[in-house]
Amino acid sequence: MFSLPLKPLSPFTSLTPKPLNPPKCSKPQAETERGLSFDVGDTFFRHESSTGRDLGVLSAAIYKKSHNALRVLDAMCGCGIRSLRYLAEADADFVLANDANPDYGEIISGNLEKAGMGKERWDVKHSDANRVLTERYLERDYFDLIDVDSFGSESSYLRAAISAVKLDGLLYVTSTDGYSSGGHRPQHTLAAYGAYVRHMPYSNEIGLRMLIGGAVREASVLGYHVVPLFSYYSYHGPVFRTMLQVKRGKFPIKRSSVFFLNLVYKSRLFCFKLLIVYFLHS
């Protein structure tokens, strides 16, 4: 027999109230990125995404230097840090910053004012990204660079974004759906990007190709073709980003594997150093 010592029970329950935490006030949170100070507030912001923003701003600056013009549409701007950097670092002639949440308006406007430029150089809207992109297309108000930093595998904006960008303009698109690119939801990737993705050891590469392939197909429907300039993957999220240049005319099918490469028969893992040696001696 085991006996457990029992603590005497108090006949009364303590009614001493526990101290309550004071309500949190939504105060602007000051952040700094590449020397620019901005406020975050309650908006969604990740420091880890700064490299993706660096690449977008660098591309915009090169475009401005070669075309002597730069109009940017930031379709899902969040706190507006990308829009601020396009103004301050790429010297954009005009930036349209859009976010569907109207509660972010004060934060976005306050951040864009820190660029030190007149209000004729930027505007803020609060609407669905597809609506804003379609309105620009209908009004023939085309942009040199459209940045769509979306969440998940939302691909419905691709056609509207391609329609609203200028010919030879830049389209910076995003996917954060690492679960699908890992081959766990092949029916979903088939519906979103036209790619039936199975589980493979190089899901990061597949995620980028899936995103590019979806854009290529949407552009082809509209009578255009897109040229990938660079792609970027980051573990946080994860995040897949690719910069595309939109050009007139469909891409010759014989020169593209997008439309007929329907099965990968065999895959192998290689050490990157061995891969370099192989290419140097081939």
Question: pLDDT per residue over 57-85, tens digit each?
Answer: 999 999 999 999 999 999 999 999 999 99
Q: In which residue are the tokens 């600056």 written?
A: 61
**Dihedral pair phi/psi, residue 74, rounded to 5°:** -100, 95
Structure tokens at 99: 């976010």
Longest dimension (CA), the chain: 90
Question: Domains of the chain (ranges plus CATH)?
Answer: 30-280 (3.40.50.150)
**What pLDDT is stored for residue 179 in this prediction?**
86
Question: pLDDT per residue over 220-277, tens digit each?
Answer: 999 999 999 999 999 988 999 999 999 998 766 555 555 545 555 556 666 666 766 6
Residue 24 — very low, low, confident or very high, per pLDDT cuts 50/70/90? very low
**What pLDDT is stored for residue 30 in this prediction?**
86
Answer yes or no: is pLDDT of 41 > 50.
yes
Helix (H) and strand (E) counts for the chain?
Answer: 9, 9
Residue 18 — very low, low, confident or very high, per pLDDT cuts 50/70/90? very low
* Rg of the chain taking only CA atoms, in angstroms: 24
Nearest to 98 by CA among 68, 113, 119, 77: 77
Distances (CA, A) of 207 to 77, 101, 180, 192, 228: 23, 28, 8, 12, 14
- Judge if pTM exceeds 0.85: no
- Determine if residue 168 is left, alpha or beta; phi over 0 gives left, psi from -120 to 50 gives alpha, anything else beta: left
Structure tokens at 198: 């199975």
CA angle 145, 243, 258 (to 5 degrees): 125
CB atoms within 10 A of CB 204: 17
Nearest to 221 by CA among 243, 196, 193, 250: 250
Structure tokens at 260: 């007929």
Question: pLDDT per residue over 85-140, tens digit each?
Answer: 999 999 999 999 999 999 999 999 999 999 999 889 999 999 999 999 999 999 99
